[in-house]
Structure 1
Amino acid sequence: MIAEPVPSSRTEQGCDIPLLVWRLPEPALAVSSAVVGGGIGPCRWVVNATVPMSYDRDDPDVHLREIAAGLGLTGPGVGLLTGVDVADVVAVDDGEVRLWATVGLSAPVQAAATTAEPEPHAGTVNLVAWVPQQLTGGALVNAVATITEAKTQAIRELGLAATGTATDAVAVLCPPTGPAASYAGPRAPWGRRLADAAFRAVLDGGAANLAGPPSWSDRQDRRTGRPGNG
């Protein structure tokens, strides 16, 4: 089991903005759709960083590497961004699987849109999962698909006609050595656990997100009395 993420923050534009940091004691094998650390490869750290809903940088990879450097993180890692307050992370266990979700649903979309849609805000559903057995390359990709299917199932359960947001990301980590599992579909042992954990985490996190201020920006605006931009 990898350690729990440690809440932290960084200062940008005069604000203390929250983030979560996973510092791995040993390298893991990871698959991710993230802008930093995307693909399959070794991983020493994971960062999930809140950004304002007005976020418009066109170099998020550079931004995330700056954040990682400021935290003293070195080597390969996975970097994620979201418009929600990462302090609201939802963690779920299922067997030996552990999954963390930050769920922002202020800009839900259908993956196959039939009409032109405006450029989305950075709401974002980010999912980070740990599986205690090495997975083959195919099983890692399968795990991402399984988690994504469960995420969509939870979003539909919440009453939204959506498959996610336009900026969702997934990262699945496992040991880099040992006997490897070849499958992670929803009926394979690890896939079933990943699906159950993802469904519960997105359902719980999504319900809380839809019921309260949808973004870190809105919370800041409520504290300061400024009009929201989310």
Structure 2
Amino acid sequence: MLGELALTYRAEEGREVPMLVWRLDRPALAISSGPLGGGIGVRHWVVNATVPMSYRRDDPEVHLGELADRLGLHGPGVGLLTGVDVTEVVTADDGGVRIWATVGLGAPIWAAEAPGRSLRPVDHVGTVNIVALLPERLGDAALVNAVATITEAKAQALRELGLPATGTATDAVTVLCPPDGPAAPYGGPRSRWGAPLARAACRAVREGGARPTVPWSQR
């Protein structure tokens, strides 16, 4: 279902900026929290694009659509953005599940903050983008549960790294699976596909989070 992951570059502000591109051999059923192609639906491609930490566009979905056009991508897709250098992508496999994660933990937060407490300015890399591929179709409820499972696994990885946080304010998850065939009903951490999904996600975030994080724009 998924073609080879490609690393490509675009010219921006006089520099070559990296992007990861997944071109699907055939459309996939996806659930995503990304700024482009979020929600549940059939998708034809995924892009995870590095942006400078000075990025201030308030229309990221438009920007990602422009990048997709430049890449010659057609049909609906998923677009993600990060201040992380996406050439540092981490891959993990477990029981037929594959995870790709770009991990930036420079701006960690607790999900539940005290009322009225404002977030500190984000001046460090602070986005964890996770793309997951499953070999079997999941039902809609199972897809929602799979996102929750990945998020729980990410939080577990941060605990194992000794980081007092559950993630960052801008993390995104995308799960891809075949659009047809019998639908697996569950995606929780003890389900047939949720268990390997959790292990792979935890391992990828833990490995990526253990690396020194330098914003791409400071390289």
- TM-score, with structure 2 as normaliser: 0.96
Unaligned runs of 5+ in 2: none
Report the count of equivalent residues: 216
Q: 1:166: which partner in 2?
A: 169
The correspondence of residues 6-155 of structure 1 with structure 2, limited to 5 A, is 6-114=6-114, 115-121=117-123, 123-155=126-158
Cα shift readout 1:127-153 (whole Å, capped 9, x = no counterpart): 000010000000000000000000011
CA distance in 2, matches of 1:93, 1:143: 16
8 Å CA contact 2:154–2:202 kept in 1: the answer is yes
* Paired residue secondary structure (1:193): helix
Cα shift readout 1:30-63 (whole Å, capped 9, x = no counterpart): 0000010100000100000000112111111111
CA distance in 2, matches of 1:4, 1:197: 19
Unaligned runs of 5+ in 1: 220-230
8 Å CA contact 1:120–1:166 kept in 2: the answer is no
Cα shift readout 1:47-104 (whole Å, capped 9, x = no counterpart): 0000011211111111111111110011010000000100000011101101100000
CA distance in 2, matches of 1:203, 1:68: 30
Select the structure that is richer in helix: 1
The CA RMSD measured in Å over matched residues stands at 1.1
The alpha carbon displacement at 1:214 in A equals 2.1
8 Å CA contact 2:104–2:213 kept in 1: the answer is no
The alpha carbon displacement at 1:160 in A equals 1.0
The correspondence of residues 136-215 of structure 1 with structure 2, limited to 5 A, is 136-208=139-211, 212-215=212-215
The alpha carbon displacement at 1:120 in A equals 2.7
Structure 1 moving runs of 4+ over 2 Å:
118-123
Cα shift readout 1:94-134 (whole Å, capped 9, x = no counterpart): 01101100000011111111232224345200000001000
Seq. identity, %: 64
The alpha carbon displacement at 1:213 in A equals 4.3
Q: 1:226: which partner in 2?
A: none
8 Å CA contact 2:106–2:213 kept in 1: the answer is no
